[in-house]
Amino acid sequence: MKLIDFDGAFEAYLQDWFVRSKGLFRTYDEMEDRVPEVYQTFLDTPADFLNGEKPGVFFERFSDPKELTDWMVAYEKGGVPVPDMLLNRIADLGRAAEESLLSLLTAEDIPQASRMSAVTLLREVDSARPAALYLSWVKGFDGRDELTENALESLQSMGDAVLPAILETLEGATDEGRAALLTILPEGAADDKTVRLAISLFERRRDLQAQLAGVLGRMGDERALPALRRAALDRENGYLVYIELRNAIEQLGEDAPERDFSDDDPEYESLKGL
């Protein structure tokens, strides 16, 4: 399985274009603005490194999902940039690529970047099949895992179909996992139990208050107001956190308590200059 460096080939093509275009543009920025057009020309031009085939259509003659996903993994393992055209071809196969992509999520000895690509591609083909697996990742989320963050984006895109499972997972998730799931809940989806859980988490974890303030505001439940007002008055919360708290309070129909940040808040001072 040959790993063709399309990125490297385009870089050489672009450098040659820069040399040939010297003097045709007044500024470097004008040249930069043309790069997308040059890239499209690269894709549409027969290339010597492909024996005269156009880079933009090279992968279109392949239709076996496993072959294509194996190729994607081989690129990652080989340290060669995965071509966008390969990823696009897998996405173009739609649900036909679903099984091969799902297998990557739990496969051993593959790069994390390949799992990341699999999550993204499964989202592009509108697959809800990995929802249970994604929720198991979120259940143990530590707030710093990019793969789980990508999975959360997919869960959000699945909409109401996964809402019951999300609400069920909240109970046993880590605090970071709960905050993440609460953040992707659609407006009006939280039941009484979920509202109380969100308020409790907000009060217990100061470091999550900026994230959860927006959640409480969208939930539209006035029971969150006392906790939000206390946090807004807490001098340990800086200006940026206060803005989130103020927005949530106003979203719930009240005016936020005023605070003066002009003397000792570096966040306020840096933003004031803007």
Which pLDDT score, from 0 to 100, does residue 236 have? 87
CA distance 274 to 269: 9
Residue 261, both tokens:
């940040």
Residue 189, both tokens:
């989806």
Provide the 3-class DSSP secondary structure of residue 53.
strand
Which pLDDT score, from 0 to 100, does residue 9 have? 97
Q: Nearest 10 degrees: CA dihedral of 271, 211, 248, 161?
A: 140
Provide the 3-class DSSP secondary structure of residue 47.
strand
Nearest to residue 137, comparing CAs of 122, 154, 161, 124?
154
Contact of 155 with 188, CB cutoff 8 Å: no
Which pLDDT score, from 0 to 100, does residue 22 have? 79
Which pLDDT score, from 0 to 100, does residue 135 have? 98
CA distance 66 to 71: 8
CA distance 137 to 140: 6
Q: Which residues pair with 53 in a beta bridge?
A: 47
- Residues lower than pLDDT 70 in the chain: 263-274
Which pLDDT score, from 0 to 100, does residue 73 have? 98
Mark 103-121 as b/e (b = at least 16 C-beta within 10 Å).
Answer: ebbeeeebbebbbbbbbeb
CA distance 228 to 82: 46
Residue 71, both tokens:
């190729």
Which residue type sits at 240? L
